[in-house]
Amino acid sequence: MRQVVLDTETTGLEPSEGHRIIEIGCVELIERRLTGNTYHQYLNPERAIDDGAIEVHGITNEFLADKPKFNQIAKGFLEFIQGAELVIHNAAFDIGFIDNELSMCDKQYRTAYGPTANYSTVLDTLLLARKKHPGQRNSLDALCRRYDINNAHRELHGALLDSEILADVYLMMTGGQTSLILGDEGEEGGVSGASIIRLNTERPVLPIIQASNEEISSHIARMDVIAKKCDGPLVWSAAFPPTDTD
């Protein structure tokens, strides 16, 4: 199964008020494993960013002045998400903005992209978190604390960084350990920060200490007592069958 964990940053809160997307970040999961394949794009929104939004993500109008417009990257973005399940925290917000951008492309540039639903299904991790943790805070930061995911490096919101953090949260929220690492060190996927520890082939051979005859006899005697109290044979007594003490 292919999933794309997605996040956006915007000029403000409402596309109905003319606000636009300024950053898209995506990370790819295949069979619940991070592949290292990402999509990241800054966008020129052709309008000013609200001051409150800049305080959240730190992206300025000057920085975006030479970036491409959405219609210039739409085809490549849709190709990246095509056929995937989109994993988004508060999906209504991001999908609302993406569908608005696609609609503007259709109207202004006579394309026929249609809405996001034409390309991908959507899983909303906010709705999932509310179902799993009713009555609790379920922001991305709150979920990081709940699942012990380190997001200390996130001073500001950023679409690619948030999608990477959300991928960790989603995998923990839906199954804890994501995979066993059985390949070579450096292999993509697996538990973040884990590595294979290989033993030195020249290490001393570990000694094998056998039980003495006295210890074996004591063990058999103990099993005899347990078997009589259980009124039946013991499943682990095949190696040392009980003795007949009658």
Catalytic positions, written as ranges: 157
Reply yes or no on whether the pLDDT at 230 is more than 80. Answer: no
Which residue type occupies 128?
A: L
Reply yes or no on whether the pLDDT at 178 is more than 80. Answer: no
Distant-in-sequence, close-in-space partners of 37: CB < 8 Å, separation ≥ 6 = 27, 28
Q: Supply φ then ψ for residue 118, to 5 degrees.
A: -70, -15
Domain range 2-173, CATH class: alpha beta
Q: At 194, is the secondary structure helix, strand, or coil?
A: coil
Worst-scoring range by mean pLDDT, 50-59, 133-142, 230-239? Answer: 230-239
Which residue type occupies 242?
A: P
End-to-end CA distance of the chain: 64
Most distant CA pair in the chain, distance: 98
Q: What is the mean pLDDT of residues 108-118?
A: 95
Domain parsing of the chain, residue ranges:
2-173, 210-246
